[in-house]
Amino acid sequence: MSVKQLHVVRFAPRGKDSFHETIIARVESYFKENKISPYANTKMWVKSTLMLLLYWIPCSLMIFGLGAGQPWLFFLLWFLMGWGMIGIGTSIMHDAYHGAYSPNRKVNNFIGFILEVIGGYAVTWKIQHNQLHHTYTNIAGLDEDLDSIKLLRFSPHQPRYWFHRYQYIYVWFFYMIMTLFWMTLKDYVQAIRYKQHDLLTKHHLSLKQTLFRITMFKMFYYSYIIVLPLFLSGMPWYYVLFGFLIMHFTAGLFLSCIFQPAHVVETSSFALPLESEGKKQMEESWAIHEVVNTTDFAPTNRILTWFIGGLNFQIEHHLFTGICHVHYPKLAAIVKTTAMEFKIPYHVEPTYWQAFLGHVKMLKKLGRE
């Protein structure tokens, strides 16, 4: 993956009166006719507050010794913090760095800064997620959500080794350590790689500046998440370390199990660009590519929708990243109807468990074919 590759790969033109133009017009009409803003509403601000409290209340209680002498309570607080991390990631940071809270970029960036507070780094996340994943969804070599370690195979276009036959068994361990790796090494690895491919230029950062900022944010994070509990919680260091792992194992596993069933499933096309005269172009337009490579799930599960920031409406999110997720359930009917009119497959699993099992089946399939 390089800047040259990014410039070479193009999507087919969307055309006049295309699916993309039609869906944009209908969604804009929905907001205009109902006289509502596509950005955050009161419900979104209330939910954001609750998600922050779900992380910071257990964190504060843990640091200042509520669980001292009571291991079960101490570890429970860490466990709740893991769910708070999930809520912050899916319902706050994600919308903020997609510009969905407010038309004001400064407001979105201020809210999105919570990512640095919980151990991440905005620039590398934006490159991986906003720039690569959302533009080149499920295109091997360009979508970094597919490009994992050698032990995992998420695309039929990636090399297959004998051990992939068992990936559906051992993949859960790597899902569990996903956020742990992210908060320790991933940002550094990505920064170096993105510098090599000139992807930091858009953010007006040198590699030295990027690494310095990552280090400063990590030092702040580990100061309050590890150092303060060591001195103030009243619990042994190995309890603090174990609690820290509980938090990340909880967040990593559940976050992975939210995103993967939306893309790494049998209904996804995993199409590659066609090459002609040195140029690479996808057969489909970008909007159609996003729909056929994405799956919604559990659209009627209001509790799940609320907690995971509407990411079960992944098709709507990919088509309208700048719209706050609280509007996705209403947009889904518009998108589905329009897709059917244009004879575009619209994939949706009625429950989360069906989506989850679909992902497991795909892991097995990728390990054997």
Residue 352 φ/ψ, nearest 5 degrees: -65, -40
Residue ranges covered by each domain of the chain: 3-368
Q: What residue type is 10 in one-letter code?
A: R
Q: Are 198 and 3 in contact (CB under 8 A)?
A: yes
C-alpha to C-alpha distances, 291 to 18, 92, 272, nearest whole angstrom: 14, 24, 15
287-340 pLDDT tens trace: 999 999 999 999 999 999 999 999 999 999 999 999 999 999 999 999 999 999
Q: Are 30 and 303 in contact (CB under 8 A)?
A: no
Predicted local distance difference test score (pLDDT) of residue 6? 54
Long-range contacts of the stretch 146-153 (C-beta < 8 A, 24+): 146/264, 147/1, 148/174, 149/174, 153/366, 153/367
pLDDT interval class at 173 (50, 70, 90): very high
pLDDT interval class at 279 (50, 70, 90): confident
Count CB neighbours of 357 within 10 A: 14
Tell me, rounded to whole angstroms, the distance of Cα 15 from its chain centroid. Answer: 30
pLDDT interval class at 369 (50, 70, 90): confident
- Over residues 341-358, the mean pLDDT reads 97
Predicted local distance difference test score (pLDDT) of residue 110? 96
Burial of 95 (0-12, 13-18, 19+ CB in 10 A): buried
47-106 pLDDT tens trace: 999 999 999 999 999 999 988 889 999 999 999 999 999 999 999 999 999 999 999 999
Predicted local distance difference test score (pLDDT) of residue 2? 45
pLDDT interval class at 7 (50, 70, 90): low
Please determine, for residue 1, whether its predicted confidence score (pLDDT) is greater than 50: no
Predicted local distance difference test score (pLDDT) of residue 15? 73
Residues 46 and 324: their CA atoms lie apart, in Å, by 14
Predicted local distance difference test score (pLDDT) of residue 98? 97
Please determine, for residue 4, whether its predicted confidence score (pLDDT) is greater than 80: no
Q: What residue type is 137 in one-letter code?
A: T
Pick left, alpha or beta for residue 282 (phi over 0 → left; psi -120 to 50 → alpha; otherwise beta): beta
Of 174, 260, 122, 236, the C-alpha closest to 244 is 236
Q: Are 293 and 307 in contact (CB under 8 A)?
A: no
Paired strand residues for 349: 297
Please determine, for residue 285, whether its predicted confidence score (pLDDT) is greater than 80: yes
Predicted local distance difference test score (pLDDT) of residue 12? 86
203-215 pLDDT tens trace: 999 999 999 999 9
C-alpha to C-alpha distances, 66 to 53, 85, 208, 226, 239, nearest whole angstrom: 16, 20, 41, 16, 14
Contacts for 271 with CB less than 8 Å, ≥ 6 apart? 138, 139, 282, 283, 284, 289, 292, 293
- Percent of the chain residues topping a pLDDT of 90: 89
Please determine, for residue 8, whether its predicted confidence score (pLDDT) is greater than 80: no
pLDDT interval class at 5 (50, 70, 90): low
**Residue 144 token pair:** 């970094």
Count CB neighbours of 28 within 10 A: 11
Predicted local distance difference test score (pLDDT) of residue 145? 93
